[in-house]
Copies of this chain bind each other. A is one copy, B any other.
Amino acid sequence: MRVPMNSKSVKKVVLAYSGGLDTSVILKWLQTTYNAEVVTFTADLGQGEELGPAKEKARLLGIKEENIFMDDLREEFTRDFVFPMFRMNAQYEGCYLLGTSIARPLIAKRQIEIAEKVGADAVSHGATGKGNDQVRFEIAYYALKPDVKVIAPWREWDLTSRTRLIQFAEEHQIPIAKDKRGESPFSVDANLLHSSSEGKVLEEPWDEPPEIVWQRTVSPVDAPDRVTEITIEFERGDAVGINGERLSPAALLTKLNALGKENGIGRLDLVENRFVGMKSRGAYETPGGTILHTAHRAIESITLDREAAHLKDSLMPRYAELIYNGFWFSPERRMLQAMADASQASVTGEVRLKLYKGNTIVTGRRSPNSLYSMKHVTFEEDQGAYDQFDAQGFIKLNALRLRLGAMAGRKGGEL
């Protein structure tokens, strides 16, 4: 075992605490190894669990009342993290809607705010040493409080097997739920945007994920054999209502999640590239986010200028990579966000969709700011809106450099 980095110097540490077995063990381990005062922070990010039991458990483990922090962050999460990200149509490696990645900076931000408030000198989290989450948490910590001490127990301790973890829990009177004694067949993260599963039964990428892995959506096969039609309303790039009913960001995402869930929408089985250098396989469920992503692209399709849209598309992979890698709180993410946000001023209007057995089908889009001009595009007589003769000059000058190349012996764009 390596010597914990800052073992002597930590006085008070803010732990991202879920109330589950692992973070309860961490809590105790921080107390015993670092002899530090532990402050717990538990957030409701829409993971679908009550916060009450976590509070109870923290008390039980000896945390002082003033050191127990709980927050309902669902609105902030959706409004200030999910929605800005969706303005960029972010997808990591062509598919992944970044549900886990986008939650980490907010948790880290609250931990640091609490650390400043209670005068803590350290923060701690329960992410492992192989994954991306440790990076996302810690980069955010350092960016927000550069002198903070970071304790990542999974990288430090010797509780490297389930048996030893359970043993440590028993030795320290940490209650253990019955179903937590054995190894879990996979590991789960959830919030209002998505659920992800990794590990164990998912480790062989040739094997199909067992149905039990999917917890947030019904299978397309089991989804009802009927079409659900909905309309989503957008204002300046953000969704603001469904079927004419104005909703808060979190309420809107919650409703889209319900719609997606029952229609088998938003499953993804992906082998992805982690920032730490290895490939991993994940099973993701983003029911509402999948619908929202499709709808956002559709409203942009009639309201965004071509080059504005293409500029966004060309920078999207970079933006998604930044969020995946944990650089939400970075100058470069802020710069790209400034660019993206500037583009959304006119992205207002409605999108109509059909949801059906895994499919999200756009069937209509309209906007007071539409740039779609039927007058120009029509196959009918256009009363002079567009002069077809212009196309000749347009083509000839676009082709001129290629003609000059061909005259110089480089036909067909050869080099």
Using CB atoms and an 8 Å cutoff, list the residues of chain A in contact with chain B. 2, 5, 89, 93-95, 109, 128-130, 134-135, 138-140, 142-147, 152, 154-155, 160-161, 187, 198-200, 203-209, 220-221, 225, 227, 267, 269-273, 276-281, 297-298, 301-302, 304-314, 316-318, 321, 327-336, 338-346, 352, 356-359, 361-366, 369-374, 376-379, 381, 386-415
Q: Which of B143, B352, B396 contacts A413 (CB 8 A)?
A: B143
Contact at A302–B271, with CB atoms within 8 Å? yes
The chain B residue sitting closest to A160, CB to CB, is B381
A94 to B295, CA, bound (A): 13
14 A-B pairs with CB atoms under 8 Å apart are: A144-B406, A209-B363, A276-B391, A306-B401, A307-B331, A307-B332, A308-B331, A311-B336, A334-B342, A358-B359, A370-B408, A371-B405, A386-B400, A393-B396
Residues in B with CB closer than 8 Å to A307 are 327, 330-332, 401
Residues of B within 8 A of A415 (CB): 305, 308, 331, 334-335, 342-346
Taking A267-B361, A308-B332 as known contacts, 4 extra A-B pairs with beta carbons closer than 8 A to each other, sorted by chain A number, are A207-B364, A307-B331, A331-B410, A389-B393
Would A412 and B143 count as touching, CB distance under 8 A?
yes
Q: Is the CB of A329 within 8 A of B272?
A: no
Most buried by B among A152, A379, A410: A379
The closest CB in chain B to the CB of A408 belongs to: B371
Which among B278, B342, B363 is the interface contact of A376 at CB below 8 angstroms? B278
Interfacial chain B residues near A129, Cβ < 8 Å: 388-389, 391
Inter-chain contacts of A281 with B (CB < 8 A): 372, 377
Contact of A301 among B93, B397, B413 (CB under 8 A): B93
Contact A403 B143 (CB under 8 A): yes
Q: Main secondary structure on chain A at its contact with chain B?
A: mixed
Known A-B contacts A271-B302, A330-B307; the reply to A391 vs B393 at CB < 8 A is: yes
Residues in chain B near residue A135, CB distance under 8 A: 391, 394-395, 398
User: Which residue of B5, B374, B406 contacts A143 across the interface (Cβ within 8 Å)?
Assistant: B406
Given A311-B332, A415-B331: A277 touches B357 (CB 8 Å cut-off): no
- B400 to A278, Cβ gap below 8 A? yes
Q: Are A301 and B270 in contact (CB under 8 A)?
A: yes
A367 → B minimal CB distance (Å) = 10
**Using Cβ atoms and an 8 Å threshold, which residues of chain B touch A332?**
305, 307-308, 310-311, 413
* Residues on the B chain within 8 Å of A395, using CB: 134-135, 138-139, 142
A410, B269: Cβ atoms under 8 Å?
no
Q: Which residues of B contact A336 (CB under 8 A)?
A: 311, 339
Q: State A379–B339 Cα separation when bound (angstroms).
A: 39
Determine whether the beta carbon of B393 is less than 8 Å from that of A390: yes
